Amino acid sequence: MKFNKKFIFLIFAIFVLITASIGCNFNLEDIGISSQKGGVTTSGEVDILRSKLSAYESQESLENLELQKLREEIERIKNQNIPVNGNIAVIRIFGILDQEDVLPIASQLRRLTEDREVGGVVLWIDSPGGGVSAVTEIYDEVNRLSLRKPVVAYVGGVAASGGYYLAVASDKIVVKPDAILGSIGVIYVHEDLTEYFKMFGIKIEVIKTGEDKDLGAPWRPLSNDDRENIKNMINEDFDRFVYVVSKGRNLPIEDILKYSDGNVWSGTQAVSYKLADRVGTLDTAIEELKVSAGLKNPKVSFFQIADDGSVSNMSYEYMRYQYAPSIRIQKK
């Protein structure tokens, strides 16, 4: 029992000694107590400093987070307050072009030409071409528009034959890498159904005022004179096509003739041949037009001209997800 009392008394004495040392600001290192600061201080002061440091660090982190949010909000408000300094119209022309498409497309292009609030037009082309007369009529309207306002053509799917014919009327052509362009040429197809009519006993009687009045009709074969006549017509259309591409792309006719075999190319190839300007997306074409038109914050409107001639003002999101490429790959 005495041994236990002595032991307890010894423990108590050590405790008093340590407490006295702390109260007198002794160096804790002298009695074997380590201080992270390494200086003459008390454990109480160390705890206070640590708590303050922790509080400061938390406050600093909180302040940094709040400042970052504030900066983002200020930037968002600044961007919202930039005044709209013009309009950009994105007009999509798609499908096979025929005479029924001329009036709705031409009238829409003419309206955009006269609209003073429209600073430029993105011509979104997705067409394999069509009739010669229909394409040249629409080309004249695109050319008329480009003389008054910047026009950038965008090809996301197909701009072949007459579709490419329209694209070269623009100031620049932006294409997706997997788009299809080209097919510079003219084609005429004649169907001789005389044997078919004989097989089914179909008799056709033609009353005409001239020998060539039914030129190209399927109920009779082509004569040598017919072929020569048709060849002269398509060669004339072909010469005009080559000239239009040469003029639009600012390239010598000799260079265009190298690519005028009716072949098509990918968007990347078309750019390498200088038959298009840049690989990109629809947004790339819009950015190109913003630079050309000198517009920093334009309002962008989207128009689609359907095959039935109706014109609808559509949102960007709707057009993105309803759009489908015109290329079909059939496995044999």
Catalytic site positions: 161, 213
Q: How far apart are CA 268 and CA 283, in angstroms?
A: 17
Give the containing element (helix H, strand E) for 70: helix 43-80
297 φ, ψ to 5°? Answer: -140, 70
Check: CB of residue 212 under 8 Å from CB of residue 229: yes
* Strands 278-279, 172-175: pairing kind: parallel
Task: Spell out the residues 6+ positions from residue 16 whose beta carbon is closer than 8 angstroms to its own.
Answer: none
Check: CB of residue 48 under 8 Å from CB of residue 250: no
Residue 131 buriedness (CB in 10 A; 0-12 / 13-18 / 19+):
middle
Q: How far apart are CA 270 and CA 277, in angstroms?
A: 8
22 φ, ψ to 5°? Answer: -65, -45
